[in-house]
Structure 1
């Protein structure tokens, strides 16, 4: 995932692998459904931004075949390297700071990236500029402010504790520049970027084993910062993790907003009829 120096969920932490696996289990099917709808096909040139783990880029490589090209970029590519076995080109790249890679691309995709990037406008502009005329952009980002509870059914003290810790985690994200209402803005931002045929939908799982795995990995990654900020105690975190492990919580994710658009074909020269 693209990140800056203040990124809270570092790809190099021991729990990052479990977190990527859980995100893949929760959201890959939805992402691949959008790829299918956008018509990703053999020979397409694709840029996977903030690749993190290898699963999405590997799917694109299998779909586009030997005549296609899939480039997977991230600030930290340590967990994306496995995709190279599928023919994916893996490269270190900061989508907000570095020039767009050589293209143009038929598809540019980013999932759970821009919400964490300080200069989101520059990153979105870079991805849009990398599209060929007629190329598709698919941006998928969370909107934690739209559904702020990890336990929507807060019926007891275990659920209340889970939601309190989640509020603390989101405060840490906000303090590092994350826009917790970014997902809902995507359709407007894609239109403002000049894309056409813009659409969007939302998806969030509830009461899935992968939600439990994601919560465990996430809390373990940020527990020291939660304690240091006075947002939780070690005892509260251990108690919450034991509740998750016991399967007594119906955990949810933030809504994932998927927004897509098409770069217009160039206008014909003045005086030339189509």
Structure 2
């Protein structure tokens, strides 16, 4: 029987690598655009929180160069390159309960992390405490309740089934304490924590190859829990995955809300 506690999409499952690749393809360009706009430069010290895979810390390391330093942390670091030539430091770290891996960071970034952390308020405070005066925090979180459909164009039974399974997935997440409306609260939370120059925007793809890969990997990871919870049947999951493989669906993601603010100098 599937374990009904903990993170639904843990890094130990074989589909995690596919999910990391799809998320990188979908959201790295937006993340990198935001970080470039914050003025990242050679010599910056950066903390990538809950990195998961190597794409963001590798990009950061290339931007800050040998004069800078990048620390990439996660509860499970098995998908990150730890070789010396990777250009960044890898540490196992739980941002919800542990102190930051240093301080004086010019940039602290987290994407799709805080909604899954039970102690998310403490985690946000930890991230802000690690900033130097004038340093930037960039937090990016999905808001599934803002746009809850995986198929916004619900044109037939295949699309209705896809959206039904997405509702089932949200039910599982809510049962595990995920705040499905957390993304929209980020500007208020950053201002409340004393950051200045706070701004935010949102982005979500509506269809594409990476959306398809993400849906396939995600559904494969959660199918046992969906069935065990009585939310879906194996037949429904198989039918949906067949529809995805046949290219019948325009699959969207939840909006990714990016919020950034600066620690007062």
Residue 108 of structure 2 aligns to a residue whose secondary structure is: strand
Are residues 1:182 and 2:214 paired? no
User: Corresponding residue for 1:270?
Assistant: none
Gaps of 5+ in 2: none
The 4+ residue runs of structure 1 with deviation greater than 2 A are: 81-86
Deviation at 1:263, TM superposition (A): 0.0
> What is the correspondence of 1:121-270 to structure 2 with a 5 Å cutoff?
121-265=121-265
The whole-number CA distance in structure 2 between the counterparts of 1:172 and 1:212 is 21
- The 1:128–1:86 alpha-carbon spacing in structure 2 relative to 1, beyond 3 Å, is same
Residue 91 of structure 1 aligns to a residue whose secondary structure is: strand
User: Corresponding residue for 1:34?
Assistant: 34
User: Corresponding residue for 2:10?
Assistant: 10
The whole-number CA distance in structure 1 between the counterparts of 2:12 and 2:24 is 18
Q: How many residues align?
A: 261
The whole-number CA distance in structure 2 between the counterparts of 1:194 and 1:80 is 32
The whole-number CA distance in structure 1 between the counterparts of 2:208 and 2:42 is 33
Residue 81 of structure 1 aligns to a residue whose secondary structure is: coil
Q: Which has the larger radius of gyration?
A: 1
The whole-number CA distance in structure 1 between the counterparts of 2:6 and 2:83 is 27
Spell out, residue by residue over 1:109-138, the C-alpha distance to the aligned partner (whole angstroms, 9 max, x if none): 000000111111000000000000000000
The whole-number CA distance in structure 2 between the counterparts of 1:184 and 1:84 is 38
Residue 160 of structure 2 aligns to a residue whose secondary structure is: helix
Question: Contact 2:80/2:90 (CA < 8 Å) preserved in 1?
Answer: yes
Gaps of 5+ in 1: 266-274
User: Corresponding residue for 2:76?
Assistant: 76
The whole-number CA distance in structure 2 between the counterparts of 1:219 and 1:89 is 32
Deviation at 1:86, TM superposition (A): 2.3
| TM-score, normalised with respect to structure 1 | 0.94
Question: Contact 1:140/1:256 (CA < 8 Å) preserved in 2?
Answer: yes
| TM-score, normalised with respect to structure 2 | 0.97
Residue 79 of structure 1 aligns to a residue whose secondary structure is: coil
Spell out, residue by residue over 1:184-231, the C-alpha distance to the aligned partner (whole angstroms, 9 max, x if none): 000000000100000000000011110000000000000000000111
The whole-number CA distance in structure 2 between the counterparts of 1:197 and 1:91 is 30
Deviation at 1:84, TM superposition (A): 5.1
The whole-number CA distance in structure 2 between the counterparts of 1:240 and 1:230 is 17
Question: Contact 1:54/1:82 (CA < 8 Å) preserved in 2?
Answer: no
The whole-number CA distance in structure 1 between the counterparts of 2:190 and 2:22 is 28
